[in-house]
Amino acid sequence: MKKSILRSKIIQIFIKHKLSRKHSEICADYLIKAELVEAKSHGLTRLKMYCDRIKKKLINPRPNIKIKKISSSISYINADNSIGFVSSDIGVSQAIKNAKKTGIGLVAIKKSGHFGLSSFYAEQAVKKNLIVFCFTNAPPALAPYGARKSLFGTNPICFGAPTGKVPFILDTSTSIINRGKIRHAHKFGKKIPYGVALNKFGQITTNAKEALKGSQLPIANFKGSGLAWMVDILSGVLTGSSHGGKTKDPFDDFSGPQNVGHLFITIDPKIFIGKKYIKEIKKNIRLVKKLPKAKGFSSILYPGERKNKLYKKNLNRDISVPKKILTEMDELNVV
């Protein structure tokens, strides 16, 4: 489907679900961007879920998002149960403003929801020449080290830095694979790789449905478990949002709003070494790229380069929309 047509359709669907035009456009753009970087698990496959939650009054289509100024560097946002895209779009803008003013910005968001890919927010800060951390929590998916039941989300660690060229953007879940990929496999009847998830009895499974009911495995055992716990504290506890396994699964749990929390930290990379920063980061990347390559590698990519290539490749192409989602979209459009 032509991107412009798809965009109009999504906007129309969100407007039918009572979002303002502006908020509908924000949501459509983030969903389409996920498709363009081929992160399908964070794209159109979630559209119905967002609409379902609006219908059930678990997402507020007309949120009164309040920004509380704590200091010139620090802001606290009450998202009023908006779609995560909307509050985070506002949140990262505020974090950018704060760092531009003072060298460092810190923005916490409470009462939000799933915000898509962390990297999209990081990218905005990096394009304004800032270093950035984005943290968000997510519904239970990972068993803490020593437990046999899920509690942490796949809690990504997202970090961005300007390079003078394509943004350096690391966006890595603390699970071996991200939950969206398992959902995607489930939706389309595919298997998941061996060794990334357990069933509810604690046994390794390649069945996506069983994995969703069981738990995913963290990277590097207690290390990944610790990193996921760190993200739960930063985005859940610190922000006054849900934490400790209380973040509701947006697909399965309709007992209340998700109350997801996000935290953005922005740093002006020129505060310490001035304009030399760009020279040094370019040198850094050059030094890594010229290393002798491992077997099977013709080049070394930094985090963010692969997604950027996909984005450019797909930018002027039509977006392929699976039949199942086309049907969903038609149904959502007659609500």
Window contacting its own copies (CB under 8 A); options: 47-55, 146-154, 249-257, 312-320 = 146-154
| 197 belongs to the binding site for its own copies (CB under 8 A) | no
Q: x-or-dash pattern for its own copies, window 88-107, by CB under 8 A?
A: --------------xxx-x-
Comparison of 188 and 272: residue with beta carbon closer to its own copies: 272
What is the footprint of its own copies within residues 203-262 (CB under 8 A)?
Answer: 219-220, 222-224, 226-227, 229-230, 232-234, 236-240, 243-246
| 108 belongs to the binding site for its own copies (CB under 8 A) | yes
Binding residue for its own copies, selected from 170, 310, 319, 321, defined by CB under 8 A: 170
| Whole-angstrom distance, CA of residue 332 vs CA of residue 97 | 37
| Whole-angstrom distance, CA of residue 176 vs CA of residue 287 | 28
Indicate left, alpha or beta for 129 from its phi (over 0: left) and psi (-120 to 50: alpha).
left
C-alpha 47, offset from chain centre: 15
CB of 120 to its own copies, least distance (A): 17
| Whole-angstrom distance, CA of residue 201 vs CA of residue 186 | 19
CB contact set of 223 (below 8 Å; sequence gap of 6+): none
With residue 23 as reference, give the H or E element that holds it. helix 21-36
**Eight-class DSSP state of 289:** H
CB of 108 to its own copies, least distance (A): 5
| Whole-angstrom distance, CA of residue 263 vs CA of residue 123 | 15
| 315 belongs to the binding site for its own copies (CB under 8 A) | no
Q: For strand 197-198 and strand 260-267, is the pairing parallel, antiparallel, or unpaired?
A: unpaired
Q: x-or-dash pattern for its own copies, window 3-42, by CB under 8 A?
A: ----------------------------------------
| 297 belongs to the binding site for its own copies (CB under 8 A) | yes
Comparison of 14 and 159: residue with beta carbon closer to its own copies: 159
| 319 belongs to the binding site for its own copies (CB under 8 A) | no
Comparison of 146 and 189: residue with beta carbon closer to its own copies: 146
Contact status, residue 152 vs residue 225, Cβ threshold 8 Å: yes
Binding residue for its own copies, selected from 287, 315, 323, 334, defined by CB under 8 A: 287
| 74 belongs to the binding site for its own copies (CB under 8 A) | yes
| Whole-angstrom distance, CA of residue 156 vs CA of residue 118 | 8
Contact status, residue 212 vs residue 206, Cβ threshold 8 Å: no
Binding residue for its own copies, selected from 2, 8, 21, 70, defined by CB under 8 A: 70
